[in-house]
Amino acid sequence: MSTTLVTGGTGYIGSWVVKQLLETGHTVRITARDINKTSKYSHLTDIANASSGSLEIWEADLMEEGSFDDAAKGCDGIIHVASPFILKVEDAQRDLVNPAVKGTKNVLAAASKSGTVKKVVLTSSVNSVLGDSIDMKNQNLEEFNEAHWNTTSSVSHQPYSFSKVQAEKVAWQIADAQNGWELVVINPAFVLGPTLTKSSASESLTVMGDMLKGKFRTGVAELYFGFVDVRDVAKAHVLALETDAAKGRHIISERVMNLLDMGNIIGGAFPGKYKLPKRLAPKYIMYLFGWAFGVTTNFVKLNVGYPIKLNSSKGREELGLQYLKVEDTIKDMVNQMEEMNMV
């Protein structure tokens, strides 16, 4: 089987990518800023010991030029997952955009220098496709698909989304300027599902934790998101790596729903157990109190009350991806968070 470098392999999505590769016999290389901090990847060594594949640990840093060169040598493919997913930052350019862009440049440079890498799979986001929910109305669209790009995010408005746009655009520019390897991009919607490591700092776990702890019990804003299981996102990466026909971008989403729908699914699976939202909060309330939930008035104006549609058929048709139902995703996630005392 092939040798694959997975950046961000210790994280929420990356750990599942590594697990699936190991279980199908791949040699997997992961990177850590400090290989002496074994607690960051001990869950992966345990998986490797029970799998047919093998795991190698290499030291690298997204912000250090040439840092991934040695790890990439001899690899057949790279899955580049590593990129900060933080919604509250002091300096968006420094904490989000720079690591996302520079990290992508460093990893793709390593692919070119390796002489062996034939395919790079990049973790982007559906936020690279659309910026604000109102975009669908403003652009007279019936749905978003892979041909669309987010043109409304910036360092000051939706900076995380902006970081994903900038990183993906840089990746395509680099890929188009060479012919040694092929780029395939995965654009996941909001990711939910169980984690392989309690140390994960994913915002997905934070949002679910806030929901279960009753932060939204008085009501939630009418915000629409695509949702998808973390295991399916990982599977999409592996399929993109292994499928010769895989080309371009891929929106990965099981369905679109709002946060009240999410709360109702939790309530149906765990009746009476949590203080969940029972209604949608009026938009004017979000204007007044959105700051308490970390959202600006501009975000409220451009997103609350605007439904979206995502066309995720390419993942099904080109990659052969079959989605887990969001109901099962949420049930598995809540059960695990209870077992791990995360709520």
Active site residues: 164
Q: Which residue has the tokens 């010991």?
A: 49
Q: What is the dihedral of CA 9, 256, 95, 101, to 10 degrees?
A: 70
Task: Provide the token pair at 138.
Answer: 């403003």
Residues 153, 130 contacting (CB under 8 angstroms)? no
Amino acid at 149: W
Name the percent of the chain in helix, strand, coil, to the closest 5: 45, 15, 40
- In this structure, the strands spanning 77-80 and 54-59 are unpaired
Following CA atoms 20, 26, 31, 37 in sequence, which dihedral angle do they give, to the nearest 10 degrees? 70
CA distance 224 to 25: 38
Residues in a beta bridge with 77: 4, 119
**What does the alpha-carbon distance between residue 285 and residue 191 come to, in Å, rounded to a whole number?**
27
- Angstrom distance (rounded) from CA 120 to CA 112: 10
Run of H or E including 226:
strand 224-229
Q: Report the distance separating Cα 246 and Cα 170, nearest Å.
A: 20
**Tokens of residue 108, six digits:** 């793709």
Write the CA distances from 177 to 2, 191, 296, 308, 309, integer angstroms. Answer: 25, 32, 39, 34, 33
Strands 248-252 and 255-258: unpaired
Q: Would you say 326 and 269 are in contact if contact means Cβ atoms under 8 Å apart?
A: no
**Reduced to 3 states, what is the DSSP secondary structure of residue 288?**
helix
